């Protein structure tokens, strides 16, 4: 049975979820409505995915089994005011809005069936990591629906304590940016050695992709693989020594802690 879904907001993450649920046949185009304030965005989504679009949020959620809030945080209060009183008791609301706690959603929407999700950008290529939690009123059937949708975008992890959503924000939510920064820095280092920008990019990207795949299938921990590559007195050991002198591991911990603290601040 197809699931009727309403997207409030049609940005990049919403499109990633839309593409995934259509690809996995969680829903069909005829059962999806996307509401967005930008006419050009509505036209693009309608043409590419053959879904219904509207600029009216209340119209979008009418009759939907699942309502996905994919708007910018600064627009949340306005959207909640628009939707309050229009949601049926059993409709499930799924929020991917960073920094918006469940308590705020419950109050603003006057609704209790809520899921809060922290996805990440690799979901756009089906390799995402989504961490989620639910209110007590969300039943097993609805939980199964959410898990199915999120698995269509990659992997999912359900947590019972909402605080782990903020913790996941600091690890998997912001994590891609940490990796991108390292890749950017490693490519710059390659250019500094004399490689062209194109060659430096190819060297680094394939190294990262290959290492990721190797780690995924090796059955070994990152530490085991690192030690296997690091011969005493060798080139890798020389580089690792510099990382250690710069407190690389502690720096990563401090950065993640800062992101977690900021996530908690945004949720107040």
Mean pLDDT of 230-236: 95
Q: Do 5-160 and 175-266 have matching folds?
A: no
Mean pLDDT of 181-186: 98
This prediction has a pTM of 0.89
pLDDT at 213 over 90: yes
In which band, very low, low, confident or very high, does the pLDDT at 38 lie, cut at 50, 70 and 90? Answer: very high
The pLDDT of residue 127 = 92
- Per-residue pLDDT of 49-95, as tens digits, reads 999 999 999 999 999 999 999 999 899 999 999 999 999 999 999 99
> Judging by beta carbons within 10 Å of its beta carbon (0-12, 13-18, 19+), is residue 185 exposed, middle or buried?
exposed
Question: For residue 122, what are the CA distances in angstroms to 25, 52, 125?
Answer: 20, 26, 6
- Per-residue pLDDT of 128-162, as tens digits, reads 999 999 999 999 999 999 999 899 899 999 999 99
Between vectors from CA 183 to CA 178 and to CA 187, what angle results, nearest 5°? 150
The pLDDT of residue 51 = 96
Q: Which two tokens stand for residue 139?
A: 């039943």
Can you tell me which residue has the tokens 């802690």? Answer: 257
The pLDDT of residue 193 = 97
Fold annotation for 175-266: ProC C-terminal domain-like fold (1.10.3730)
The pLDDT of residue 209 = 96
The pLDDT of residue 25 = 81
Instruction: Provide the residue ranges of all domains of the chain, joining segments of one domain with +.
Output: 5-160, 175-266
> How crowded is residue 171: how many other Cβ atoms within 10 Å of its Cβ?
17
Residues pairing with 116 in the sheet: 95, 133
Q: Which CATH superfamily is domain 5-160 in?
A: NAD(P)-binding Rossmann-like Domain (3.40.50.720)
pLDDT at 1 over 60: no
């Amino acid at each position: 049975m197809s699931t009727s879904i309403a997207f409030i907001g049609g940005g990049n993450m919403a499109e990633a979820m839309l593409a995934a649920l259509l690809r996995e046949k969680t829903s069909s185009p005829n059962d999806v409505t996307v509401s967005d304030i930008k006419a050009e965005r509505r036209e693009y989504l309608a043409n590419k995915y053959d879904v219904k679009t509207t600029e009216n949020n209340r119209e979008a959620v009418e009759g939907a089994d699942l309502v996905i809030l994919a708007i910018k945080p600064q627009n949340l209060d306005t959207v909640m005011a628009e939707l309050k009183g229009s949601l049926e008791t059993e409709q499930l609301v799924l929020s991917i809005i960073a920094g918006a706690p469940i308590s705020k959603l419950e109050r603003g929407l006057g609704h209790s069936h809520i899921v809060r999700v922290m996805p990440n950008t690799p979901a756009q290529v089906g390799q995402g990591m989504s961490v989620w939690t639910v209110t007590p009123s969300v039943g097993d059937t609805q939980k199964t629906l959410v898990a199915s949708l999120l698995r269509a975008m990659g992997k999912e992890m359900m947590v019972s304590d909402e605080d782990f959503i903020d913790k996941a924000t600091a690890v998997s939510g912001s994590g891609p940016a940490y990796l991108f920064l390292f890749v950017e820095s490693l490519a710059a280092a390659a250019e500094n050695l004399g490689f062209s920008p194109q060659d430096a990019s190819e060297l680094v990207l394939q190294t990262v992709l290959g290492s990721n795949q190797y780690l995924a299938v090796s059955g070994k921990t990152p530490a085991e693989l690192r030690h296997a590559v690091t011969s005493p007195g060798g080139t890798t050991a020389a580089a690792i020594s510099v990382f250690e002198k710069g407190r690389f591991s502690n720096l990563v911990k401090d950065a993640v802690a800062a992101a977690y603290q900021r996530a908690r601040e945004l949720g107040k």
